[in-house]
Chain A
Amino acid sequence: MPLKFKKNRVQLVGEVVVDDAENLFVWLASHPAAEIDASEASHLHAAVLQAIAASRRSISKLPVDPFLAACLNQLTMQNVDQRM
């Protein structure tokens, strides 16, 4: 399971596929204070990126993978800013 839901933290591990996007989004919506730990993610499907962007969270731990980290950075920067 690429998504590991803890009490107040979700861990994204390995390849997170398109089907996980909805789960993640719904979970994030119901856990407004939860942390997102993407450090162990190897790839996130674009829909997953969108789910994170749409939930307007910042990432607590960015992926080790530099490409993914850049994607997440850009999207969260853009979407978190918008709320300001």
Chain B
Amino acid sequence: MSDLLKQFVLDAHDILERMGGALLALEKRPDDDAMIDELFRAAHTLKGNSGLFDIPTFTCVVHAAEDLLDKVRDRELSIDNDMTDELLDAMDFIQRMVEAMERTGSIPERFSDEAEARIAQLRARLPEPTEAFVSHVTAENPDQVKPPEDCGWLATIPENERFRLFAEGGSLWGVLYRPEAECFFKGEDPCLVLRNVPDRAGFVIRTLEAYGDPESIDVYRCNLEIHVLSRAGFEVLREHFRYMAEQVAVYPIDGFMLSIPTGSDGCDPGLQEEFLTQARSALGDGNRAAFANSVDAMLDIVNPQSKAASALRWLQALVPSAVSDAVLEAMLLSFETGTIPDFAKAPAAASAGSEQASTDRALASLTSVTSTEHTDAAVIQVSALHGTLGFQILSTQRQLLDMPVAEAQRDGRLASISNTLRALLLQYDARDALMMLEEALKHCRGEASFLPLASCLDELLAGGGFDPQPQLKTSAVPETKTLVSQHAQIPAEGPPNDGDTAAAATGEHSERGSRTLKVPQEKIDRLMDLIGEMVVAKNALPYLAAKAESVYGSRDLAREIKAQFAVINRIAEDMQDGIMQVRMLPMGHIFQRFPRLVRDVSRQLGKKVRLVLEGESAEADKHIVESLGDPLIHILRNSLDHGLEPPDMRRAAGKPEEGRILVRASQEGDRVRIEIEDDGRGIDPVLVKRKAFEKGLVDESRLDTLSDTEAIQFIFAPGFSTAETVSNLSGRGVGMDVVNSSLQKIGGQIRLTSEKGKGTRILLTLPLSVSVSNVLMVMMAGQRYGVPMDTVVETVRVPREDIHVIKDRRVAVLRGRVVPLFGADQLLQLPEEPVANGEGEFAVLVLRIDGAVIGLIVDGFAQTTDVILKPLEGPLASLTGFLGSALLGDGSVLLVLDLKELMYAA
């Protein structure tokens, strides 16, 4: 599997989880806009990511879901329970596809049928498709890219190319594709999109903002604008750009719009004058032949490289076609002024003669409304400014203002900038803007600051949607209309919400600030293994120190080794801590699966349940957190199924109809606590006792002495939880032994308390990490054994006379309670009895096992140490009573006892 695919699978899991959470949150608060946005964005990202791979099945399903969410976001649809169900199901399906991809690297064929069914189902929820389509195109989405006002960009396509296109005839479509700045992060490649535009006939690609200071350039911020000319139909193009519909405007291009004169300036004014008079009068008379003649004659005279010649060639080509006089007039005007012809008035008259399919046009006219709106003649003169030199000059001057300047040079720079701007605005006859500029300059001189001018320029530039520094618009904007409106492609209809832009900008900024690394788990695991070995290896140093002293008799060397050991020890511990931190996951990681589970099960069972999650941020090792998932789900299911009563029963019992399940995680020292509490019917200890007796788990004599709390623990006993006993009992039990054993595998403990009629509370405690365990070494019959520290309560010395024997069992009174004592020899079938020390005292290790306190009599205690526990393997695996073995620093092997198993065996 490629790295890219791996990353995709990882991300997909994340996104699906987020979407699940958002959907459930939405069900409770259907009006939460932020949540809807989040959901939509997640779907959008997922779809974008999937576009990198050839998995159309996947992309289409996500796309259908995204469309639906889009409607929800636009408030055309409201989200209800059924829709949530369907979306959740669709997400499950997507999840299955992701899992299949994870296994096989592609999506198996068998998914396609279901995918189609799902897409159909999701689509069925959409409002009337054509209506949706139209509304999508014309939606009041302020980010929607609008078609450009003029087709000046066509001039960039070589003239002969355009002649060829014009001669071929047929319908042409223009596409303005302005990729959003973050598109690279969504896996989009505008260049590839452009390359694959169906029936591409020509294109222009250019950068939007001029690149300035190399330090501030971010090449991952898309700064491109792409114009494409295509012969494919409107629908085909929309389909091609379907993933970035809001960044694309598709509009029709009439053949005559290609006729933009290009070439060098310069033409004899006298000749020009004469030709224009002739041509205009011929046109006025409706004499096309005469018109064509004068064009031909003129073309013979002028320099073929010049713009004038180009204009004439176009006129030559245009005359025989069925274009209106308005087009020809515009062309003549262009010939006269050397600017781009303004066909703004022409299309309406000319479209009758156009061969374009009327349906296509009908749809497209919706998008092209804006392009025909600006018919102001003044536009012609300034339109050259758009996207070209003039605009760039404006932007550059604005950038100059931001550059640091020495006090002495300030006036000079201001003067030079203001001169440039004045000349530019005069050139384009933008008088209002000029006035505004003078006003700003006055303020600049008064305040000895560039700020007024900077904000004035920002306002001017903002009109083009190229606002370098988002800021609040002032009422001055309408005054600058002459200039602004020429750039106003994007905000012409709806000025962008500057607050949003600013928010987006800062959001993006902070995103770039906090970079997150995604590292495959194996790498971390390897680090963890290595540091584990390091911990063991460093433990060899004290032995070496002892050897230096005892064997080689060098006390100084021993001391130095010990000093070094202290340093290495500290570093190793810090390192271990650091790596463990990396592996830490918040409990929220598994908690987020619960709302969905509770919702589904409670709907199935017809119960009303409120799930309260607390302490999602408590952290534990990834392995622990992940292995907790299934046991917790099991416990929750039990609570839902057997613990909580149906609403009518709850009412009868005087409880609120809605049951409550609380899951709370917290950290306590080096353990994590998880409580699962419900206010259901609880467990009846009498029933449990009877069942335990029937199952032969307990004898009659103990039955009477069992407290209720102890009795309830029987539901964890293996074999107790067969289906019929358990579901007849009022609750817990289905697989509780499995829950228990899987928790114990990761060093966890489980405690259960329940009050009949009031509810049940289950408390899990788990170590923060599993890989390194802390053990206490004890001596037994001349050999060392390890005991996990988390079971040790204390170590005491008990005089021989304080040990009493009751009915063949040894007990001692410790801190006011009777503690049963077990001899190590007895548990491990060792040949020698524990030995007492000189004063006749026995070493007793007090342990807590399954909530009961017991004492273990050993020969003596040694130090505690960190070990990496390896389970016993091979023929030894069948040995019970041992958690595993560990290698000690001196090379010897330590057996770590599983006291619980030993206890039950005894």
Contact = CB atoms under 8 A, between A and B. Distances in A.
Contact of B205 (A25, A71, A82): A71
B189 interface: yes
Residue from B191, B211, B224 whose CB has the most chain A CB atoms within 10 Å = B191
A46 B222 contact: yes
Interface string A1-30: 000000000000000001001100100010
B392 A82 contact: yes
Contacts of B210: 79, 82
B220 A75 contact: no
A51 interface: yes
A64 B207 CA distance: 23
B550 interface: no
Contacts of B191: 43-46, 49, 71
Interface string A31-72: 000000000000111110111011110000000000100110
Summarize A's interface: helix, strand, loop or mixed.
helix
Contacts of B520: none
Interface residues of B, number: 24
B211 A46 contact: no
A39 B709 CA distance: 80
Given A22-B220, A50-B219, A74 B156 contact: yes
A74 B225 CA distance: 12
Chain A residues touching B, range: 20 to 34
Contacts of B204: 74
Contacts of B203: 70
Contacts of B156: 74
Nearest to B217: A54
A46 B179 contact: yes
A14 B115 CA distance: 35
B223 interface: yes
Residue from A46, A47, A50, A78 whose CB has the most chain B CB atoms within 10 Å = A46
A57 B204 CA distance: 19
Given A46-B179, A46-B224, A53 B207 contact: yes
Contacts of B643: none
Given A21-B220, A54-B211, A43 B205 contact: no
B206 interface: yes
Contacts, number: 69
Nearest to A55: B214
A58 to B, nearest CB: 15
A67 B204 CA distance: 11
A43 B224 contact: no
Contacts of B702: none
B223 A50 contact: yes
Contacts of A55: 214
A25 B220 CA distance: 11
A30 to B, nearest CB: 10
B184 interface: yes
B184 A78 contact: no
Given A53-B211, A67-B195, A46 B184 contact: yes
Contacts of A49: 191, 205, 224
Interface string B184-228: 100001111011000000011111001100100101101110000
A18 B207 CA distance: 17
Given A21-B219, A22-B219, A67-B195, A47 B207 contact: no
A72 B127 CA distance: 44
Contacts of A53: 207, 211
A71 B503 CA distance: 33
Interface string B210-252: 1100100101101110000000000000000000000000000
A25 B195 contact: no
B4 to A, nearest CB: 9
Contacts of B220: 18, 21-22, 47
A45 B189 contact: yes
Nearest to B202: A70
Contacts of B392: 82
A83 B195 CA distance: 28
Contacts of B184: 18, 45-47
Contacts of A67: 195
Nearest to B223: A50
Given A50-B223, A51-B219, A56-B211, A45 B205 contact: no
B890 to A, nearest CB: 49
Given A54-B211, A82-B392, A43 B219 contact: no
A75 B207 CA distance: 7
Interface string B43-63: 000000000000000000000
A54 to B, nearest CB: 4
A45 B192 contact: yes
B222 A75 contact: no
Nearest to A18: B184
B650 to A, nearest CB: 57
B224 A50 contact: yes
A22 B192 CA distance: 18
A71 B192 CA distance: 11
Interface string B392-421: 100000000000000000000000000000
27 contacts: A18-B189, A25-B217, A25-B219, A29-B214, A43-B191, A44-B191, A45-B189, A46-B184, A46-B190, A46-B191, A46-B224, A47-B219, A47-B222, A50-B207, A50-B219, A53-B207, A54-B207, A54-B211, A54-B217, A71-B194, A74-B156, A74-B205, A75-B205, A75-B206, A79-B207, A79-B210, A79-B211
The 7 closest A-B pairs by CB, nearest first: A46-B191, A46-B190, A54-B211, A51-B219, A25-B219, A54-B217, A21-B219
Given A45-B192, A50-B224, 6 more contacts: A18-B184, A49-B191, A50-B222, A54-B211, A71-B205, A78-B207
